[in-house]
């Protein structure tokens, strides 16, 4: 099996409607509008498959408006982070599509309700009549970044965290990742952003933009993330030197720190989504920093349109555009 890079042709993007009033409980009207804008923006370029149980579909239709290129799927979810609990599409050597269904435990049991989310990948496999493979390991989609050519990047703070697979050996987990994602080598960075509920997902700090090129987050020394991100940058540079492989490393500055109740939020421009013709990138109401990030992304993806999406409310719950989405490779 192998997972294609995100720029591989896609037949759809999965998203989940925020049905539960436990999430964004103090900003429900606005978050529904923000979700509708995100769904509509993505559907302009790629079909959206929206997970939304039937009792909430009228609400979703009301906020979204036109459902052109949007399919509503009557499946119940606990939360909205499709990247982590949703189906991961891979191909076998015959180019046949399969779904990998890793176990999901809400990022190490941080939240009580996750049974519905954990069932989603298998349900989607059934709907699409696709073979579903269920490794006996807990792993989230946002924990692994692949280039589609045998190289992956992840973080020790997630992969080796005992809140996921306490009874499994590290070598066994790494072998499973290599087998099911089709990678031969993993760059294991030390960790992610401060106050990231995921324990430091790679999709919030370091992303491939081509087979031999990565964008990696940096910041100045006044930011609490400075030390970790500098270590990550050095690890990427050391990988290139040690393996005598060219790896273009592009620095992607974090937005200025955003605080809620005195705690820094894990806001990052790296939480972007690559679709067929566009790249959807977070913005945070910081004109200079937002434009700088968009310019960097445009240079990395010269043939795609850069679409900024306001993520100030999304990040309050801990994620961004990439966390909310999961691509379906062309079937």
Every domain of the chain and the residues it spans: 10-329
Cβ proximity of 281 and 293 under 8 Å: yes
Exposure string for 152-188, b = 16+ CB within 10 A, e = fewer: bbbbebbbebeebbeeeeeeebbebbeebbbbeebbb
Cβ proximity of 135 and 180 under 8 Å: yes
Sequence-distant (6+) residues with CB within 8 A of 303 are none
Task: Measure CA 259 to chain center.
Answer: 22
**What secondary structure letter does DSSP report for 316?**
G
Tokens at residue 232, please? 């990550």
The topology under which CATH files domain 10-329 is 3.75.10
CA pair distance 144, 177, nearest whole angstrom: 9
Q: What pLDDT tens digit does each residue of the chain (331 aa) get? A: 999 999 999 999 999 999 999 999 989 999 999 999 999 999 999 999 999 999 999 999 999 999 999 999 999 999 999 999 999 999 999 999 999 999 999 999 999 999 999 999 999 999 999 999 999 999 999 999 999 999 999 999 999 999 999 999 999 999 999 999 999 999 999 999 999 999 999 999 999 999 999 999 999 999 999 999 999 999 999 987 666 678 999 999 999 999 999 999 999 999 999 999 999 999 999 999 999 999 999 999 999 999 999 999 999 999 999 999 999 998 7
What are the residue numbers of the active site? 323
pTM: 0.97
Nearest in space to 173 (alpha carbons), one of 163, 153, 159, 157: 159
């Amino acid at each position: 099996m192998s997972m294609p890079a995100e720029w591989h042709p896609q037949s759809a993007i999965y998203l989940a409607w925020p049905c539960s009033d436990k999430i964004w409980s103090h900003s429900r009207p606005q978050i529904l509008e923000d979700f509708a804008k995100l769904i509509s923006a993505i559907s302009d370029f790629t079909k959206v498959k929206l997970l939304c149980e039937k009792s909430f579909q009228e609400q979703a239709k009301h906020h979204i408006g036109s459902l052109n290129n949007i399919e509503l799927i009557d499946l119940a979810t606990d939360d909205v982070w499709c990247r982590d609990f949703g189906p991961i599409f891979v191909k076998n050597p015959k180019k046949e599509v399969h779904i990998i269904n890793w176990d999901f435990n809400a990022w190490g049991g941080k939240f009580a309700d996750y049974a519905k989310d954990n069932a989603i990948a298998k349900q989607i496999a059934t709907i699409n009549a696709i073979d579903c493979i269920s490794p006996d390991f807990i792993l989230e989609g946002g924990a692994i970044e692949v280039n589609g050519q045998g190289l992956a990047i992840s973080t020790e703070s997630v992969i080796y965290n005992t809140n996921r697979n306490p009874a499994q050996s590290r070598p066994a987990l790494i072998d499973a990742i290599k087998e099911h994602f089709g990678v031969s080598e993993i760059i294991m960075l030390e960790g992610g952003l401060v106050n990231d509920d995921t324990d430091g997902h790679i999709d919030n700090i370091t992303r491939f933009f081509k087979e031999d090129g990565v964008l990696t987050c940096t910041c100045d020394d006044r930011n609490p993330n400075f030390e970790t991100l500098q270590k990550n940058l050095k690890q990427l540079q050391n990988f290139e030197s040690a393996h005598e492989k060219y790896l273009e490393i592009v620095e992607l500055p974090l937005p200025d720190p955003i605080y809620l109740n005195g705690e820094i939020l894990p806001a990052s421009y790296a939480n972007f989504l690559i679709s067929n013709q566009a790249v959807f990138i977070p913005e945070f109401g910081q004109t200079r920093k937002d434009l700088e990030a968009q310019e960097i992304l445009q240079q990395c993806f010269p043939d795609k349109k850069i679409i900024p999406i306001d993520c100030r409310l999304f990040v309050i719950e801990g994620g961004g555009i990439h966390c909310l989405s999961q691509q379906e490779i062309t079937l």
